[in-house]
Amino acid sequence: MDRGTFRERIAVNRRNSVFLILLFLAFVAVFGYVIGYAWIGDPTGALFGLGLAFVVGTISGLVTYYGGDRMVLAASRAKQVTHEEAPVLFNVVEEMAIASGLTMPKVYVIEDSAPNAFATGRDPEHATVAATTGLLRKLDRDELQGVMAHEMSHVGNFDIRYAMLVGVLVGTTVLISDFFLRGLWFGGGRGGRSEGGGMVQLIMMVVAILLAVLAPLFARLLQLSISRQREYLADASAVRLTRNPKGLADALAKISGDREVLEAANRATAHLYIVNPVKSFEKRAKGIFSTHPPINERIDILRSMETGGIPETVG
């Protein structure tokens, strides 16, 4: 994995972000039109649903893009710290910022005994890294460096922006679906001036219900598949920064093996963390798809890098 390869993958991330926006807008247009037709019963009236979908999508997108990081940090009960308050963490983040050539991000700490960390923001100039107090207590400096290199890699690879865009996709889809289904429950979906028009509206109603039920699931699966691939890339990018795959491998082993429950994590923020914060033995783990690739695979890949090899599963 040479520098050119990393640059190519980062470029792919950026192109995928643009493609995701266009795909999202197209999906919202179709979804909104179908719902509008099913609700009102004629093609002209269906434009109301189209307009509503775009309004919801635009507002959701702007709020998430410019304020999503603050919402994530608030939900995680994270507190911004200074160099004097967390000198070791600050120094490590500074080292990785210099090594990656990126702007120094804001540094936050989460008061929680479970070791974990994440990065968020809309671009490298507006980025934040957050670590739990458990991570700072339980990891040595090399391991902490590996974790921060991983998070700074997410920043440099524009994964943080992509995560926000996918969050908009999932959140807006859920909002529109929920609005439509709740409307049906309270007696929505009237219209249709003729027998033929009524039949078309009935068909659109069935299609709209299917989309409303299945669309959030498909959007969530898209989010998970994207998150998994980007974790592998961030691991590899972190090794490029630290030249020490053992530090990150040992950190992942400690974090995944820790039995402490990260109370601040939830379904909306779980995919951001370096290791899935929802333990398999927790009640909230039921019904939640894994947002991360198998931890043993990630560790095996890093262990192989210690000896100069890269498993066939990478690349």
pLDDT digits (tens, 9 = 90+) for 150-207: 999 999 988 888 777 777 777 777 777 777 777 666 655 555 444 445 677 677 778 7
The band of 226, judged by pLDDT with boundaries at 50, 70 and 90, is low
3-class DSSP state of 116: coil
Q: Which helix (H) or strand (E) holds 99?
A: helix 87-100
Query: Which pLDDT score is estimated for 313?
Result: 42
Q: Which of 151, 195, 260, 312 is catalytic?
A: 151
Cα(90)–Cα(108) distance, integer angstroms: 10
Instruction: Using a cut of 0.75, tell me whether the model's pTM lies above it.
Output: yes
pLDDT at 196: 46
Lowest mean pLDDT among 64-78, 102-116, 277-291: 277-291
CA angle 270, 254, 2 (to 5 degrees): 80
Rounded to an integer, what distance in angstroms lies between the CA atom of residue 176 and that of residue 32? 8
Q: What's the pLDDT tens digit per position in 228-259?
A: 678 888 998 999 999 999 999 999 999 999 98
From residue 187, alpha-carbon distances to 134, 180, 182, 224 in Å are 51, 11, 9, 35
Residue 100 is predicted with a pLDDT of: 94
pLDDT digits (tens, 9 = 90+) for 68-88: 899 899 999 999 999 999 999
Whether the pLDDT of residue 42 is over 90: the answer is: no
For residue 17, the model assigns a pLDDT of 64
Q: Give the mean model confidence (pLDDT) for residues 104-119.
A: 97
**Cα–Cα distance list, 5 to 62, 185, 191, 229, 231 (Å):** 32, 52, 56, 15, 16
Q: Is 95 annotated as catalytic?
A: no
How many CA atoms, within 13 angstroms, populate the side-chain half-sphere of residue 313? Answer: 15
3-class state of residue 120 by DSSP: strand
Residue of higher predicted confidence among 207 and 291: 207
| Domain range summary for the chain, segments of one domain joined by + | 3-306
